[in-house]
Amino acid sequence: MDKGLSLKEIGEFGLIDYFKKISKLDRRVLRGIGEDAAVVSYTKKKYLLFTTDMLIEDIHFKIKEATPYEIGWKALGCSLSDIASMGGRPLYALVSIGVPEKTSFNFIRKIYQGINGLADIFKVKIVGGDTNRAERLIIDVFLVGEVEKGKVVYRKGAKLNDVIAVTGSLGNSYKSKKHLRFVPRIKEARFLINNFKINAMIDLSDGLSSDLFHILKENKKGAIIFKEEIPLSPKASFEQALHEGEDFELLFTLTEKEAGRISAEKKRINFPISFIGKIIEGEKMWLYSKKGDFKAIEPQGFRHF
C-alpha cells in the first residue's frame, strides 16, 4: 500500500484490510479482524468473543437530538449487536468515556443509566473502563461474550443458492430514532442458531447493500435481491432500506431447506423474518423487481473515510 495515500483515498475498509494483513495472531485466535467479533479458544465447549465500538458526538449521535439515556443505550447496543451476529451470549463490558470538562455530572449519570438499563436486560456486567477529558463526547465499549463451538456463525459460510434473510424492518433509522432505541437481536440470534442451521450472518450497521457486500466478498459469491421482499420500516423509502444503515437487524443466509423450515414454523417464531434474496455465482449484487427491472447495485452506506 502506498504510504503517501490519504485515509480518504484508502477508505475505511482499505485501512481495516491493512490492519488485518499486519496483525500477528496465535493458534488460539480462530477469527480476528474482519468479523463482527474476534473468536478465541476458551474451553472444550465454548469460544470467547471480543468486540468493541466507539461512538463519537456528531458522528454517531447528536446531543441536541438524543437524550443522554439514549446515547448510553446505543453505546452498549452496538457491541451487543456484534455479539448477536456471531450467535453469542454477552458477558462482561468495559466502558471508556471521553468528556468535555464543562459537561454536567447529571448528564454523564444519565448516560450510564442508559448503559445499565440495556446491560440489565441481557445480564451484562460492567466491570471497568477509563475516563478522560476530550473536546467532544466519546464512548468506547469493549464487550466480551461466549458462544458454543458448534454454533458460532461467521460472515464466511454462505453457499451457492442460499436464501438471504433479514430480521425486522429496514430504513428510516435516523428520523425514527431507531438507531438510538433498538434492542439488539441477542435472543433472536440465539433462537436461530439453536433451532436452524445458519450458514453466514452479520448485523446491519453500515446498511443492507454494504453489509451484504461484506458477506459476498468473504465468500466470493454474488447475490440477487428481490426489491419487493425487503421489509420497509414505517415511512422508509426503498433507498433508505437498501443503503442507510444503523438498523441493527440480523442479515443471514441459510439453505432453501432451512428457509422452508422457518416458513413452516412461523407460529413458533415470535419475531419477523423476511427472505429477500439468493446467493449466486459471481461477485456482484443484483436488484430484481417484479416489474422486470434487473440491475447491478454497488455497496453504499456510512463510511468514516
Provide the H-helix boundaries in 23-177. Answer: 68-85, 105-121, 173-176
pLDDT value for 202:
98
CA dihedral for 182, 187, 190, 196, sign (positive or negative):
negative
Q: Domain 163-297, what architecture? A: Alpha-Beta Complex (3.90)
Read off the C-alpha cell for 189.
Answer: 440470534
pLDDT at position 2 over 90: no
* Structure confidence at residue 33 (pLDDT): 78
C-alpha cell at 62: 447528536
Going through the chain in order, the beta strands assigned E by DSSP cover 29-31, 38-41, 46-56, 89-99, 125-133, 138-148, 163-167, 200-203, 222-226, 250-254, 273-280, 285-288, 294-297
Q: Which value, to the nearest 10 degrees, does the dihedral of the CA atoms of residues 113, 179, 213, 35 take?
A: 0
CATH architecture for residues 23-148: 2-Layer Sandwich (3.30)
Each residue's pLDDT tens digit, 58-107:
999 999 999 999 999 999 999 999 999 999 999 999 999 999 999 999 99
Whether pTM > 0.85 for this model: the answer is yes
Instruction: Share the mean pLDDT of the chain.
Output: 92
Domain-by-domain residue ranges, the chain? Answer: 23-148, 163-297
pLDDT at 18 over 70: no
Least confident of 20-34, 174-188, 205-219, 276-290: 20-34
